[in-house]
Amino acid sequence: MEKILGIPTLRQIEAAQLAIQPYVHQTPVLTNEGINKITGASIYFKCENFQKIGAFKIRGATCATLALSKMEKAKGIATHSSGNHAQAIALTAQLHDIKAYVVMPSSAPEIKKNATKDYGATVVICEPTLASRQETLDKIVQETGATYIPSYDHYNIIAGQATVAKELIEEVSGLEVIMAPVGGGGLMSGTALSTHYLLPNAVVIGAEPKLVDEAYRSLKTGVKQVNKGAKSIADGLLTNLSDRTFEIMTKYVHDMITVSEEEIVAAMRLIWERMKIIVEPSSAVPLAAILQQKERFEGKKIGLILTGGNVDVEQLPF
């Protein structure tokens, strides 16, 4: 896998797909009669909750790691993350037999810290601030020479995440709308790129919690915004867009929809109860958007990415 230095081309996304295939699952696409009846749409759910580590993040992490030189690999990889990217980096490192250093805030759930350690990563706990995370990481990188792999502001990460929509588009013909949730925009950028290349007539829509709606405001104003708060039940979507993801999304995402916390919980519950699958709140945000604007989506054939299934079953919002 090459290092990708600009907006990923179709050829580069194809190369990413080929390169990561031995390390990730081709996840199933599910439909549900009950939810189609309720929404009036035909929704094809791409189930990255069944992906390794329980979320799509393993794709980007693998795509970035495979692009490292032998010398870089010998020194290991490093990141900071409170969530799925931590586990993705840890598992990727384990699969490639290299070292991983993961900075995690003290506030991260014990279960995620332990899962990251279980994959063999060196977990370094820091204060629960972005400054402390970056500082702790910088120190580790200086000391070890490990390569920092960010969770979304990286073209190989974006190309890796683009393989989700690529698989979906290749499996289900004739999709008219492609939807995904937006956090830092890594998945959304990849989704928009794959759709642009492979299904240029489809409408690409990002969905975001109202409480952390900077991507919505960024795309509406044309100027990159930041989140005012950092609280939503969709804990995977609290981050801000980066320059890279903002640029791609400005070009290739057609619309954004924001939803309330109540709408997210209701959509999550609908997925749990009707589909009998476990998704994390972030995954439910696009369905919440469809339910909010039913007339707009009625009769449409929609591809929707369920991003992950890592929830603490002792802390459910129901």
Determine, following the binding rule CB under 8 A, whether residue 313 of this chain makes contact with its own copies: yes
CB of 232 to its own copies, least distance (A): 20
Query: Which window, 46-54, 67-75, 145-153, 203-211, contacts its own copies (CB under 8 A)?
Result: 46-54
Residue from 49, 62, 227, 245 in contact with its own copies (CB under 8 A): 49
3-state secondary structure of 208: strand
DSSP 276: -
Q: Is 168 exposed, middle or buried (0-12, 13-18, 19+ CB in 10 A)?
A: buried
Residue from 269, 296, 300, 301 in contact with its own copies (CB under 8 A): 269
Instruction: Choose between 199 and 267: whose C-beta lies nearer to its own copies.
Output: 267
Query: Which window, 48-56, 88-96, 148-156, 191-199, contacts its own copies (CB under 8 A)?
Result: 48-56
Helices (H), 50-198: 57-66, 70-75, 84-95, 110-118, 130-144, 155-171, 186-198
Q: Is 163 exposed, middle or buried (0-12, 13-18, 19+ CB in 10 A)?
A: buried
Write the interaction track for its own copies spanning residues 172-211; mark x where CB under 8 A is met and - where it is not. Answer: ----------------------------------------
In one-letter notation, the amino acid at residue 74 is A
Residue from 50, 95, 176, 250 in contact with its own copies (CB under 8 A): 50
Say how many residues touch its own copies, by CB under 8 A: 17
Determine, following the binding rule CB under 8 A, whether residue 236 of this chain makes contact with its own copies: no
How far apart CA 94 and CA 90 sit, in angstroms, is 6
How far apart CA 76 and CA 68 sit, in angstroms, is 10
CB of 268 to its own copies, least distance (A): 10
Determine, following the binding rule CB under 8 A, whether residue 279 of this chain makes contact with its own copies: yes
Counting other chains too, the contacts that 105-111 makes at CB distance below 8 Å and 24 or more residues apart are: 105/129, 105/132, 105/133, 107/82, 108/82, 108/83, 109/312, 111/312
Q: Which of 308, 9, 13, 305 is nearest to 171 (CA)?
A: 305
CB of 62 to its own copies, least distance (A): 16
Determine, following the binding rule CB under 8 A, whether residue 314 of this chain makes contact with its own copies: yes
Residue from 44, 45, 54, 159 in contact with its own copies (CB under 8 A): 54
Q: Which residues bind its own copies (CB under 8 A)?
A: 28, 49-50, 54, 269, 272-273, 275-279, 309, 313-314, 316, 318
